[in-house]
Structure 1
């Protein structure tokens, strides 16, 4: 493998160098806060823009109504005792008071005309051309758009003149103070929203960052990580607890791997050493006659035991890599289990083993591989024999039960049971309890391999119960 491939296997994609230089993924804190701020800023800008437009239109409508009210008041104050209009002398003072009261800008123009359109009063003073432009908007050129409001002057139900008020249609409807207030509110909302998401993102990213750091330590081979994180969020708490459990499990598996390697080496080395010593004793004439034959018989037994351990190891490796096929035959389970137990008991006739059958009436069929089922059942029977209690004769109970879509084969013994601290690990490869190490040789692959065989046939191998009075294993198969 060249250096580039090796780098791809050890370096995360977000740390690889691209054509534009070193690229690093953005942190959650930066990613969320920046994008949330931009989205919040855009949303608030739209809201403020719509609000300002609505306020402006409302204010323009109110200004038009105010101008109409002012025009009506001026029309009521204009006198016409002899049929001709007379402008009150205090009209300018009244207009000053009203414009100050209504907060009207100085760009408002007011004209009073007779029925023929002759200007009798203008505020401010205007030339004849300006008056005509105010009264006829079509004559204007290059000037802002005006709004012209006319209030007729009535006498005895007849129109004798008119009051015209002209004001800019696009006159700002809000003052600089109002704009500053809007800007302050806008900024406060944007900053408060950004600060809120910043705090939440930081609280969320802190435990994730700690978990990522612990994952890097595990990747480097340091499984003993200290992940003490207190969080009130349920999902984060579940993530931290799961990762803490995974780290502990990996650490335990690493310790077991080292111990298992040493155990496998020891278990294979012991018979080799024994065979070598026995054969050398025979070769060097240290023993002769019947004693030499006995030494050779022991050497053969040790070689058989070593052959079985190597076969277990090869079978497990072959099956775990998917190189072993499993048949799908229709099997009479009661007949198969009876034959398996009968064949297993033949070499143990001299042992005081009591076998009890608890089978239902009628035929029971399953789909699977008869040879693989035999391997599982024989392994469970051997385990039951090895777990025999020294103070009571061994009794094995074989039970077959039917349920919806499943068939269960239970093998129960009355042995010493499995220690409670070992029950969660008995299906792990190379695991052997201290008690079993003292009583029997092996690699600790029997239950692991049996579970793989059961699952390959669509079933499962479970530890149902274990206590000082006995242990029960259950082989589930499809009906």
Structure 2
């Protein structure tokens, strides 16, 4: 049984119907052209025999043949297998006719004879008394005699009647139908295999995608061609790889975020239990409060970063570029990070820090990107080290290059291409320190909104430098 809604059935039936209607159109056109050609041939045949009969009638007059001799002379011309010839007088009486089909004379009407008598050639065809026939008539003169025995010329009509037309049409239709059935059968088999070959990859893709929908990404589509179906198969395989990666990332995100939330929340809970139980001495309570505050801020940052990343990737964030002082923004950003710098005993130096540099960018989003870059540097910088923010203004090309350089352990060359990915961590062993791996992904998204490329230079043991270029304000 065919599935009515299957693409195989639709494709197979569409091809088959196209061939069917094309062949029917061909049959009708062929029959019409056959009809025209057949009648043209009949008229040529009539003209030929008209001349023969006329020549014979001239001989009759010349040699003064009797009625019997005339009938005998005309017999071969009047009696043919495919047609019959009748000679009628002006009054519509049969003068000469074939002997093998005398009954056919009844099919010739007086109206037809009258019209043929006054026209050069008159034709009429169709079903006459249930017989499919075709008549051709034309005026003709044949000899006669008057009462005195003198030869006269009588006006009459020569009628050629073609019979057995239905048999000829039946033969043509039979040949057309036979050819049609053989062609349809042959084309149907070919179309079946072609349709199956075209739809088989689609069915395979359908089953594979259904498995993907259930979370099974182990199966891939076999790509055998380079056409659109092959490209679609490659796209499905690529989609499976991306979905598999996304699934792994999702599971990793849940694990990382759960871990990063559980650790500070567990600490906060422990401090609260200790404070409620009174096990914390009064002189240590302030320190406990500060630790609880830091852990709370850590949770808030993780939640905010996750929300920001979701909004950035969903395209819900629109930047509003404006002119502002980048140097002043960096100074204020460093001031906001002072508690983190003190806890790590790390310093940040802006070079130069006394020259106002005005850029054209979204102030708030750029501050978010700078904070993430600096926090990343603080997390991986050793104690008592220095982070440099170098500003290199290029007035000729109207941009300033911002470089954030730390003295951390550096990044392996193989990992550099992956650091911008969501939740990617260069050091899994330092999960607690490195957070959820969202910061650099946010930086990349913000820079992309500004149509700015952010780059990284790093060698293991020599620190890491992030740099990008912002357009200078022209006013």
Q: TM-score, normalised on structure 1?
A: 0.71
Q: 1:353 Cα deviation (Å)?
A: 5.4
Shifted more, 331-340 versus 35-44: the winner is 331-340
For the pair 1:81 / 2:74, whether they are aligned, the reply is no
Q: Quickly say closer, same or farther: Cα 1:186–1:325, change in 2 above 3 A.
A: closer
Deviation per CA, 1:37-89, whole angstroms, max 9, x where unpaired?
22331232122101111112111111221122122222223322256786263
User: Relative to structure 1, is the Cα distance of residues 344 and 305 closer, same or farther in structure 2, using a 3 angstrom cutoff?
Assistant: same
| Equivalent residue runs for 1:106-125 within 5 Å | 108-112=83-87, 119-124=94-99
Asked whether the 8 Å contact 1:260–1:431 carries over to 2, the reply is no
> 1-side partners of 2:433 and 2:357: how far apart?
37
Aligned pairs for 1:359-438 within 5 A: 364-368=358-362, 370-388=363-381, 395-398=388-391, 410-413=402-405, 416-417=410-411, 420-421=414-415, 423-424=417-418, 426-428=420-422, 430-435=423-428, 437-438=430-431
Q: Specify the alignment match of 2:135 in structure 1.
A: 147
| Cα deviations by residue, 1:247-267 (Å, 9 ceiling, x for unpaired) | 222222222222322222222
Structure 1 gap segments, 5+ residues each: 1-23
Preserved CA contact (<8 Å) 1:55 1:173: no
Task: Return the alpha-carbon distance in structure 1 between the equivalents of residues 382 and 178 of structure 2.
Answer: 84
Does residue 14 of structure 2 align to residue 31 of structure 1?
no
Q: Who is 2:228 aligned against?
A: 235
Which segment is superposed worse, 182-191 or 121-130? 121-130
| Corresponding position: 1:216 with 2:210 | yes
Q: Would the alpha carbon gap of residues 215 and 128 (structure 1) be closer, same or farther in structure 2, given more than 3 Å must change?
A: closer
- Per-residue CA deviations over 1:191-225 (Å, capped at 9, x if unaligned) read 455445443432332222222222322333x2323
Shift of 1:324: 9.4
Matches of residues 69-468 of structure 1 in structure 2 within 5 Å? Answer: 69-78=48-57, 79=59, 80-81=61-62, 87=70, 89=72, 91-93=74-76, 99=80, 105=82, 108-112=83-87, 119-124=94-99, 126=102, 130=106, 133=109, 136-137=112-113, 143=129, 146-150=134-138, 152=140, 164-168=158-162, 171-172=165-166, 174=168, 176-220=170-214, 222-274=215-267, 293=284, 297=287, 300-301=290-291, 303-314=293-304, 316-317=306-307, 320=310, 328=320, 330-340=322-332, 342-343=334-335, 348=341, 351=346, 355-356=350-351, 364-368=358-362, 370-388=363-381, 395-398=388-391, 410-413=402-405, 416-417=410-411, 420-421=414-415, 423-424=417-418, 426-428=420-422, 430-435=423-428, 437-438=430-431, 440-450=433-443, 458-460=449-451, 462-468=453-459
Find the residue that maps to 1:81 and give its secondary structure. Answer: helix
Q: 1:237 to 1:326 in 2, by over 3 A?
A: closer
Task: State the partner residue of 1:15.
Answer: none
Q: Which runs of 5+ in 2 are unaligned?
A: 116-123, 144-151
SS in 1 for 2:97: strand
Q: Does 1:63 align with 2:42?
A: yes
Partner SS for 2:70: coil
Q: Are 1:413 and 1:471, in contact at CA under 8 Å, matched by a contact in 2?
A: yes
Question: Is contact 1:386–1:439 with CA below 8 Å preserved after alignment?
Answer: no
CA contact 1:418–1:466 (8 Å) conserved in 2? no
TM-aligned CA distance change 1:441 to 1:212, over 3 Å: same
Task: Say how many residue pairs are matched.
Answer: 435
- 8 Å contact from structure 1 (residues 464, 473) kept in 2: yes
| 8 A contact 2:264–2:299 mirrored in 1 | no
What is the aligned-residue RMSD (CA, Å)? 4.8
**Considering only CA atoms, is the larger Rg found in Structure 1 or Structure 2?**
2
1:29, distance to aligned residue in structure 2 (A): 0.6
Report the Cα distance in structure 2 between the residues aligned to 1:65 and 1:134, rounded to whole angstroms. Answer: 24
| Alpha-carbon distance between aligned partners in 2 of 1:267 and 1:223, rounded to the nearest angstrom | 29
Partner of 1:7: none
Tell me: CA distance 1:419–1:437, structure 2 relative to 1, closer, same or farther (3 Å): farther
Q: Which moved more, 1:44-53 or 1:164-173?
A: 164-173
The offset of 1:434, in angstroms, is 3.0
Q: What is the SS of the residue equivalent to 2:223?
A: coil
Task: Determine the C-alpha separation between the residues in 1 that align with 2:273 and 2:108.
Answer: 136
> What is the alpha-carbon distance in structure 2 between the residues aligned to residue 174 and residue 311 of structure 1?
94
CA deviations on 1:93-144 (whole Å, 9 max, x unpaired) are 4666xx4xxxx52xx2212457887654211364898497478446999635
Q: Corresponding residue for 2:121?
A: none
1:3 aligned residue? none
Give TM-score, length-normalised by structure 2: 0.71
